[in-house]
Amino acid sequence: MAHDSHGPGSAELHDPETDPLATYVLEPDDVRPLLARVVASPGAATHTSLAPFTGAPIAAVPLSTPDDVVRAARAARAAQRLWAARPVRDRTAVLSRFHDLLLERQSDVLDLIQLENGKARVSAFEEICDIALVARHYAARAGRYLAPRRAGGIVPGLTSVRVLRHPVGVVGIVAPWNFPLTLTIGDVLPALVAGNAVILRPDPQAALTALWAAEQLEEAGLPAGLLQIVVGDGPSVGGAVVENVDHVSFTGSTRTGRVVAAQAGSRLVPATLELGGKNPMYVAEDVDVEVVAEGAVRASFVGTGQVCVSIERIYVREEVFDEFAEAFARRTRELRIGSGLDYRFDVGSLTSAAQLATVVEHVEDAIGHGAAVLAGAVHRTDLGPWFYEPTILTDVPAEARLAREETFGPVVALYRVASDDEAVAAMNDSEFGLNASIWTADTARGAALARRVHAGSVNVNEGYVATWGSVGAPQGGVGSSGIGVRHGREGLWETTRLQTVAVQHGAHGLFGRLAPGRGPRVGLGRLYGLGTETWPTVYTELLRVMKAARLP
């Protein structure tokens, strides 16, 4: 595995006078105003977040309590009423200004993302791209997505129907650690532009990035109080969020997602859940192997594999298996691994000791069951405490944990298949259905195969970026990968409630308010007035007329 010889050589603390990568290079005066945004009581307990590159402390983040969540909800509800009453164009203007601030100040948040998460800078930049795309999209389209729409009335010409969308009120977002910006602010923006207030619970490991983004949103014009940030563990603080909001958005494990769904369901509160995945890729026999190998490296190892939609299993047609395996392994071994706060490296560190332990357990278990290593499978303690080389395995048996459990790290397994049908069956042989990828020179064939795959999104000739970055389309999972979506109009609609308003004309005379009581009374009242024997006959004929006229 290639790495920069000038990078840190151990997991020890580094001298900030000589090493720009020292995690305590963060100035206390810079961190203090961010931490002050956490809704927490005076003298609150703290969580010390650690920098994955070195294991050194970043900051002592105040921890909220369930009582703090109640206080945050009260403040959010007070702010939301005025926000919902403002025109949509005022709300979209905030997103537009936030978009510009994000791009202008990206270097600041890139540093925070890397320090909190450990990913390479190029992977952190994907989060900038994602949030900029989301902000721009909803700034341009939210007005259209939220506009009332007409619907056909029971009596054509006399019943006018409008379907309205209202904000639900307060949206609770319980976010994970693996995408400090994308999976926090990416869900905050549509909720806000729909007219809601938000209580955001970032993972304690990723709090600084979320707090930085909140600061930029207020500078962009977001009224104070609309975005409340609480920090704490899932069972206590996350559970309190679910108990105090009108919609829940949760990203995390399937096991925890079931708990969140049950808790939300007991309150009859809707929930959007993006959960686990074991995302497959299929490589057909007609591909350019080098092109696909390059794509597979990105799809499997971006973000050190700690990406909800990254690829963990690859099914390769036997005609090109050996050639693909060689190219994939070669490109993987060429990846530059290191901890620079710059663009020198392709792969960074895992985020925590716990995540490293899962990766090591899965790889060792697979090898113990007979799997072969094509690349990686090495814990790189020379680079830092939690670095692990991108790993490719073959001959992974079904009984190995790696075969079915989500690893959530830089590990992928290769399998041979003899046909499209075998590949699709293997891809669908999982409880999960979040993302999938198909590579073929025949795009029509790829699109046809994609429709057969049990996944919320399928990329043809790309790993995950094509669907994820197309923010006008919904992104979500099926099966044990979750319910609901983010992105697109459907993602915006998740945090709205529907209301149908039907206005019946003619009940007070044909001329309505212009001449109340004058002119013939028409409409449903007049129809019912025909009597219980006559009006069904009349309406039967009207139903026939409406069908003949092709009325919807």
Q: How many domains is the chain partitioned into structurally?
A: 4
* 242 is a domain residue: yes
Instruction: Flag whether pLDDT at 376 surpasses 50.
Output: yes
* Residues found in the chain: 552
* 211 is a domain residue: yes
- Whether residues 120 and 219 share a domain: the answer is yes
- The answer for residues whose C-beta is within 8 angstroms of residue 156's C-beta and 6 or more apart is 546, 551
- Whether residues 339 and 268 share a domain: the answer is no
- Whether residues 127 and 271 share a domain: the answer is yes
* 16 is a domain residue: no
The predicted model scores a pTM of 0.92
Half-sphere exposure of 86 (CA within 13 A, CB side): 21
The encoded tokens of residue 384 equal: 């830092």
- Contact indicator for 380, 359 with CB cutoff of 8 Å: no
- Report pLDDT for 483: 98
- Report pLDDT for 519: 60
* 438 is a domain residue: yes
* 441 is a domain residue: yes
Residue 547 CA: distances (Å) to CA of 362, 494, 539: 61, 34, 12
pLDDT in tens, 162-171: 999 999 999 9
Instruction: Flag whether pLDDT at 11 surpasses 50.
Output: no
| Nearest partner of 407 among 391, 428, 394, 383, judged by Cα | 391
Question: Which of residues 525 and 270 earns the better pLDDT score?
Answer: 270
| Percent of the chain residues topping a pLDDT of 90 | 85
* 14 is a domain residue: no
- Whether residues 464 and 367 share a domain: the answer is yes
- Report pLDDT for 19: 46
- Whether residues 304 and 448 share a domain: the answer is yes
Q: What is the mean pLDDT of the chain?
A: 93
- Report pLDDT for 514: 56
Quote the CA–CA distance of 433 and 476 in Å, as a whole number: 9
- The answer for residues whose C-beta is within 8 angstroms of residue 254's C-beta and 6 or more apart is 275, 276, 432, 480, 481, 482
- Contact indicator for 386, 287 with CB cutoff of 8 Å: no
Quote the CA–CA distance of 407 and 411 in Å, as a whole number: 7
- Report pLDDT for 527: 81
Quote the CA–CA distance of 456 and 467 in Å, as a whole number: 10
- Whether residues 345 and 203 share a domain: the answer is no
* 380 is a domain residue: yes
- Report pLDDT for 124: 99
Residue 108 CA: distances (Å) to CA of 30, 35, 405, 542: 11, 16, 36, 66
Looking at residues 517-535, what average pLDDT do you find? 77
Which CATH number characterizes residue 124's domain?
A: 3.40.605.10
Region of poorest pLDDT, from 15-29, 39-53, 210-224: 15-29
Instruction: Flag whether pLDDT at 383 surpasses 90.
Output: yes
Q: Which residue has the tokens 């979320």?
A: 210
Quote the CA–CA distance of 226 and 248 in Å, as a whole number: 16
Instruction: Flag whether pLDDT at 398 surpasses 80.
Output: yes
Q: Which domain holds residue 545?
A: 511-549
Question: Which residues are tagged catalytic?
Answer: 274
- Report pLDDT for 509: 59
The encoded tokens of residue 424 equal: 């699709």
Region of poorest pLDDT, from 100-109, 448-457, 529-538: 529-538
- Whether residues 135 and 266 share a domain: the answer is yes
Quote the CA–CA distance of 424 and 480 in Å, as a whole number: 18
- Contact indicator for 307, 467 with CB cutoff of 8 Å: no
Quote the CA–CA distance of 471 and 539 in Å, as a whole number: 46
- Strand, coil or helix: 103: helix
The encoded tokens of residue 24 equal: 């305590």
- Whether residues 434 and 455 share a domain: the answer is yes
pLDDT in tens, 409-430: 999 999 999 999 999 999 999 9
Q: Which residue has the tokens 């390059």?
A: 294
Rg (CA), the chain: 27
Confidence class for position 508, pLDDT limits 50, 70, 90: confident
- The answer for residues whose C-beta is within 8 angstroms of residue 398's C-beta and 6 or more apart is 404
- Whether residues 124 and 102 share a domain: the answer is yes
| Nearest partner of 261 among 156, 321, 174, judged by Cα | 174
Looking at residues 248-267, what average pLDDT do you find? 98
* 519 is a domain residue: yes
Instruction: Flag whether pLDDT at 476 surpasses 80.
Output: yes
- Contact indicator for 274, 481 with CB cutoff of 8 Å: yes
| Nearest partner of 38 among 149, 242, 190, 201, judged by Cα | 201
- Whether residues 80 and 51 share a domain: the answer is no
Question: Which of residues 8 and 395 earns the better pLDDT score?
Answer: 395
Instruction: Flag whether pLDDT at 7 surpasses 60.
Output: no
- Whether residues 183 and 236 share a domain: the answer is yes
| Nearest partner of 196 among 279, 272, 267, 251, judged by Cα | 272
- Contact indicator for 134, 184 with CB cutoff of 8 Å: no
- Whether residues 422 and 518 share a domain: the answer is no
- Contact indicator for 292, 269 with CB cutoff of 8 Å: no
Pairing type for strands 279-283 and 271-274 reads: unpaired
pLDDT in tens, 235-244: 899 999 999 9
- Report pLDDT for 34: 96
Region of poorest pLDDT, from 26-35, 86-95, 147-156: 26-35
